[in-house]
Structure 1
């Protein structure tokens, strides 16, 4: 018997959203006891699954909001996502951050809606996604990590600027 590759796991979670939600909830219970933290983890996990599928089955960016809202539990994070769904993707990131939050309060309900909005705005452009996220002037390391990971799934690793890849800190493998 062979073990599944990480790609098999990613594809499984991308197609089995109920399992994706359950696993996100379980993983978040360890670090985010509050229900809003768990709602944020669920939202981002579903967004990641959706972004992975979007790369192959492109559709309207607004469908990202439909997917996450279908699975995000009721609460402030969900309310923020509903507001983000209505916010024009053509609006400036600073106006979106003022309306949705951008992580300044370091809470899921203040971070996740803006991250999903930035992702939907730039599904195919990694660099633009991160510059838009930084323009929100909130918790930039967190918001950029979230948006960057989601857009890397939708746009692919090749969308990351070569200069950025070359400038990153080299990771050491230990065996």
Structure 2
């Protein structure tokens, strides 16, 4: 029988490849990049419920804004209802708050105005002005200095910065 590589979740890697994500059964050549997703088996999958949109909803190390819910507790990602969210699993959640347009919020802050990049503590006031700037990216407008890196999801990033390549 032909030799094969290591068992990797539900799959077996080809000879010469390593298991980089056992939860999803993803194998890669040694030293190559790997996506950090937490995959569930068919039996474990159930319809995702919309998150509760309560002011100050705790989400991992962050607190969601009043119009956002926690969609990925292990990473501390908040989102508005109907918006896409990654299902990656973060072993060490970020020690910073959510991305807010061109700004990275501090831990414990929420994004109150994404177009301008304004972050506040939960419950604090915020201006709701629109700050136009960068290119259109799917359903969003990127901030000045950002590029559209995933048109399907509307993900913007600074040039050269990492981007989640998922299909939304």
Larger relative strand fraction: 2
Q: Which has the higher contact order (CA 8 A, sep 6+)?
A: 1
Structure with max Cα Rg: 2
Same fold (TM over 0.5): no
Larger relative helix fraction: 1
